[in-house]
Chain A
Amino acid sequence: MFKNKLNKNIVFLIIFLLFTPIFVYGVDIVVNDNISISAIVSSNIAPPGGGGGGGGGGGVNPPQTVVNFSGMAYPLSRVFILQDGVIVVNTISDPGANFSVSVTNLSTGNYTFSVYGEDAKGRKSQSFSFPLYITSGTTVNIGNIYLSPTIDIDKSEVKKGDNLAIFGQSVPSSDITISVHSDPEYFFKIKSNTNGVYLYNLDTAILELGKHQTKSKSAIDTRVSSFTSPLSFLVGNETKVKEEVLCSTLRGDLNCDNHVNLVDFSIMAFWYKKTNIPAKVDLNNDTKVTLVDFSIMAYNWTG
């Protein structure tokens, strides 16, 4: 009898311990953990002087402090590197979507570097953030960065049963997963073409009437990107083509210059804890400018 009760309790304990981590920690799965970060101490011995002159020879130069970034974005697209929220360098990826870029002239200290890409249509990827402690005279290599795809939709509202085009750009011939966040969540898989462009025509007959969201991620070999920021659309009784907006759609771009940077931050800071604020600076529509509005701006930061 006692043995039977003990056995039941042990079974219960095993089931409890087995399932607890899945439920409690399952939401915090880290993607993109194959990014590699390494450092070496730079040599301060200059290469020997050019031959022929006889004199000269090696000299001692101050060691360079360099941070190298490399990874994949979109073919022939622009990749931006931010240092503490300010764009310090940008580069163009090759036709295979590979990019490599360096930041130099750094002193010892804490830095936050961010990387994001922009496709041919000006759509931006999610940002990667690297808060690093840099020691003078070291070379830091950050490799295997795999930027999220870009994403867009052709309609803001779609009549149930009509098609919604979901499109964007990623690495050529990569596997694109499109999520349509409804109840239940649907996943659709397609492949990007040789230019990295993807297009999925979603038949909205499967969706309920109401608001839905879509996002995408990309994978190639063992690399998997993070999801894009979600885009919202409505399934209703009529179809409305997405209007071309005069001002940037980036949340936090207060002066409509297609960037979220120091100027926008300064405009918002001007209204911090003030009353009668302009609607434009109130990003969460709670009639005040608080840390939450700044957080939304920081998330969409482009430098």
Chain B
Amino acid sequence: MKKFILKILFAVFFVLLMSTHHVDASFSILKVSEENISIGEQFYVDIMINTENESINGVEGSVTFDDKNLTLIRAEEGKSFITFWIEKAVLNNNKISFAGIVPTGFSGLIDPFNSSNKAPGTLIRLVFEGKSSGNTAINISPLSLTLNDGEGSIIYTAGNSTYIFIDKSENRVVYESKDDSAPTIDAYVTQDENLFNNKYTLVFRVNDKETGVDTVMVKEGNKDWKEIESPYLLEDQSGRSIINIRAINFSGESSTLTIEPTKKKGFSAYNYIIFLVVIIILLVLKFKKYVFKKQK
């Protein structure tokens, strides 16, 4: 009987211990379009996350690969559940790093025709090309995920890998995503003491539901088009230039947004007041002169 009670106590202790540690059920998935490719052949890897119904609102991580075997062609973010990129996927020494958030949280993609099941969400699509023959790995590091709990609690996924076999034969195959839609642009000119010392700054978010946005350019007044990233310190700090922003997706489709000048050309309210004061002074002087003449 004593043994039995001890067993019960042990079980209760074990269960309580389990309940105080958060079980990180989320995991990453690497989904490849082709596992066996030739030299010169392009393929993609979708980096996906299954949150197991946990609501997350931030992701930070990296993907590594061997550049002896593979070349990164591009990173497509069009299908991503991330809506604001803190750090867009950039390649640096065979490492593709990224970080982003999804406001109000993501707990799995809902298919409205079958809403009972939530599907894993795509984080990013990486397009590679076979460079030299051999077996090679694409590795995803343990991802840092923040819970949508108001405190930014961090959980981690385990690392994951996928393997690609590159044949000696050469076969030039270009992977192109279908994209008939143009990107959308949200942009504002703003001033804030914590952003370029209160200078006029352009902030924007571009979005493309298929391939993702390749380039964003700006044209201030009559100046030339220039490739930029958000936030962008405007060259013209007078606030009197028309600003055009153009977003181009990986299929070459583009859209342009025009922002009217912050300050209107011509007379401002301040100028009108000065003008009015000068007129009044002139009238008073004229009137005084007239009275003085009459008195004489």
Instruction: Give A contacts to B, CB under 8 Å.
Output: 8, 11-12, 15-16, 19-20, 23-24, 26-28, 30, 36-39, 82, 84-86, 107-110, 112, 114, 127-134, 138, 140, 229, 251, 254-255, 262-263, 265-267, 269-272, 278, 280-281, 283-284, 291-301, 303
Q: How far is the CB of A177 from chain B (nearest CB, A)?
A: 20
Choose from A112, A281, A291 the contact partner of B99 (Cβ within 8 Å): A291
C-alpha gap A263/B149 in the complex (Å)? 22
Q: Would you call B192 an interface residue if the criterion is a C-beta within 8 Å of the partner chain's C-beta atoms?
A: yes
Chain A positions within 8 Å of B111 at CB level: 132-133
Chain B positions within 8 Å of A36 at CB level: 115
Per-residue CB proximity of B40-84 to A under 8 Å, as 1/0?
000000000000010101111000000000000000001111011
Chain B positions within 8 Å of A296 at CB level: 150-152
Chain A positions within 8 Å of B107 at CB level: 129, 131
Chain A positions within 8 Å of B58 at CB level: 291-292, 294-295, 298
CB of A84 within 8 A of CB of B144, answer: no
Main secondary structure of the interface of A (DSSP, over half): mixed
CB of A292 within 8 A of CB of B146, answer: yes
CB of A129 within 8 A of CB of B121, answer: no
Instruction: Give B contacts to A, CB under 8 Å.
Output: 4, 7-8, 11-12, 15-16, 18-19, 23, 53, 55, 57-60, 78-81, 83-84, 86-87, 99, 101-113, 115, 119, 121-122, 144, 146-152, 154, 181, 186, 188, 190, 192-196, 201, 203-205, 207, 209-210, 230-231
Chain A positions within 8 Å of B99 at CB level: 272, 291, 294
CB of B4 within 8 A of CB of A263, answer: no
Most buried by B among A26, A293, A296: A296
Choose from B12, B152, B195, B230 the contact partner of A295 (Cβ within 8 Å): B152
Chain B positions within 8 Å of A130 at CB level: 110
C-alpha gap A263/B122 in the complex (Å)? 26
CB of A24 within 8 A of CB of B19, answer: yes
CB of A291 within 8 A of CB of B11, answer: no
Residue on A with the closest CB to B230? Answer: A266
Chain A positions within 8 Å of B112 at CB level: 37-39, 132-134, 138, 140
Choose from B101, B119, B201, B205 the contact partner of A297 (Cβ within 8 Å): B101
C-alpha gap A73/B193 in the complex (Å)? 36
CB of A131 within 8 A of CB of B121, answer: yes
Chain B positions within 8 Å of A295 at CB level: 57-58, 101, 146-148, 151-152
Choose from B19, B106, B205 the contact partner of A131 (Cβ within 8 Å): B106
5 A-B Cβ contacts within 8 A? A12-B4, A12-B8, A82-B103, A109-B209, A292-B152
Chain B positions within 8 Å of A278 at CB level: 193-194
CB of B103 within 8 A of CB of A298, answer: yes
Chain A positions within 8 Å of B104 at CB level: 82, 85, 112, 114, 127-129, 298-299, 301
CB of A110 within 8 A of CB of B101, answer: no
C-alpha gap A303/B108 in the complex (Å)? 21
CB of B150 within 8 A of CB of A229, answer: yes
CB of A8 within 8 A of CB of B4, answer: yes
C-alpha gap A272/B23 in the complex (Å)? 29
CB of A267 within 8 A of CB of B109, answer: no
Choose from A86, A134, A138 the contact partner of B205 (Cβ within 8 Å): A86
CB of A37 within 8 A of CB of B110, answer: yes
C-alpha gap A269/B85 in the complex (Å)? 9
